[in-house]
């Protein structure tokens, strides 16, 4: 398996369709994301030219806070189906997420989500995923193998995405940033991950996973230096103490 910068993929007419159970991303979903990113918050976008305009694509972003997904959706140059934890798909919020074309992930056994995402990729659309799995410090020190499995099996280039400023030290993982907070989203150069002849599937996925994790970690570190926005350094699962002295748990 080799990792190399991916060139512009050929245009895929399949991107215009919709996968059964995963509708195409509607325009209103992207407009809401853009409103949040650029009106509610002050989001700077770097490296959007690295995102291929068409063909299958995986956006692999670091994850520190609850608004990471909506901001990425709002600033990405093309429509993105985000993979979101299944627990959020309840009530009216769940209806909105499904209508917007996002994919629920059961974190105890996420194969159905990977299958759905793979189908979306094969039709020529883009999928967004947080390789770290949970909201945390966001330094990509570890990564789950789902993104690598998708890249290897669907033949989709992976664009690392650094998300900075959505959570600061002292804020819980469920914290919503204040009005006009500065956020930076930086897209890195795409990686094309190929399985070499004679390499087992398990080995190819392991190698791809480390290549993605390394590229994302390096992008986040470099983007943090360039922007002056640091990652949170405290316990990501601990909410700040309330006026009553109680602590809440993040997800």
- The structure tokens listed for 183 are 């956020």
| pLDDT value for 237 | 55
| pLDDT value for 194 | 84
| pLDDT value for 55 | 97
Q: Phi and psi for 18 in degrees, rounded to 5?
A: -135, 135
| pLDDT value for 20 | 59
| pLDDT value for 241 | 41
| pLDDT value for 195 | 83
The pLDDT profile of the chain, 251 residues, written as one tens digit per residue, is: 444 444 433 333 334 455 557 999 999 999 999 999 999 999 999 999 999 999 999 999 999 999 999 999 999 999 999 999 999 999 999 999 999 999 999 877 678 999 999 999 999 999 999 999 899 999 999 999 999 999 999 999 999 999 999 999 999 999 999 999 999 999 999 999 988 888 898 999 999 999 999 999 999 999 999 999 999 997 555 444 433 333 333 33
Instruction: Report the distance separating Cα 24 and Cα 17, nearest Å.
Output: 7
Instruction: Report the distance separating Cα 155 and Cα 193, nearest Å.
Output: 7
The whole-model pTM stands at 0.86
| pLDDT value for 196 | 81
Instruction: Report the distance separating Cα 23 and Cα 100, nearest Å.
Output: 7
Structural domains of the chain sorted by starting position, each given as residue range(s) with its CATH number in brackets = 2-6+23-227 (3.40.1130.10)
| pLDDT value for 213 | 98
Q: What is the 3-state secondary structure (H, E, C) of the chain?
A: CEEEECCCCCCCHHHHCCECCECCCCHHHHHHHHHHHHHHCEEEEECHHHCCCCCCEEEEECCCCCCHHHHHHHHCCCCEEEEEEHHHCCHHHHHHHHHCCCEEECCCCCHHHHHHHHHHHHCCCEEEECCCCCCCCCCCCCCCCHHHHHHHHHCCCEEEEEEECCCCCCCCCCCCCCCCCEEEEEECCCEEEECCCCCCHHHHHHHHHHHHHHHHHHHHHHHHHHHCCCCCCCCCCECCCCCCCCCCECC
Query: Taking each helix axis from N to C terminus, what angle separates 111-122 and 146-154, rounded to the nearest 10 degrees?
Result: 30
| pLDDT value for 9 | 38
């Amino acid at each position: 398996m080799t990792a190399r910068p991916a060139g512009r993929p050929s245009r895929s007419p399949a991107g215009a369709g919709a996968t059964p159970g995963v509708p195409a991303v509607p325009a209103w979903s992207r407009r809401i994301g853009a409103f949040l990113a650029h009106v509610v918050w002050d989001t700077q976008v770097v490296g959007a030219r690295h995102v291929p305009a068409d063909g299958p694509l995986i956006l692999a972003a670091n994850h520190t806070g609850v608004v990471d997904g909506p901001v990425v959706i709002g600033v990405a140059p093309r429509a993105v189906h985000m993979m979101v934890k299944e627990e959020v798909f309840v009530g009216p919020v769940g209806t909105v997420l499904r209508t917007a074309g996002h994919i629920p992930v059961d974190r105890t056994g996420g194969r159905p989500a990977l299958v759905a995402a793979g189908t979306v990729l094969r039709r020529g659309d883009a999928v967004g995923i947080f390789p770290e799995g949970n909201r945390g410090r966001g330094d990509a020190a570890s990564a789950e193998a789902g993104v690598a499995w998708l890249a290897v099996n669907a033949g989709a280039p992976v664009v690392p995405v650094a998300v900075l400023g959505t959570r600061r030290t002292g804020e819980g993982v469920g914290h919503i940033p204040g009005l006009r907070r500065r956020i930076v989203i930086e897209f890195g150069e795409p990686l094309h991950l190929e399985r070499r002849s004679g390499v087992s599937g398990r080995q190819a996925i392991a190698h791809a996973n480390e290549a993605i994790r390394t590229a994302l970690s390096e992008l986040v570190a470099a983007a943090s230096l360039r922007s002056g926005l640091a990652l949170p350094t405290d316990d990501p699962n601990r909410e700040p103490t309330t006026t009553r002295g109680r602590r809440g748990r993040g997800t």
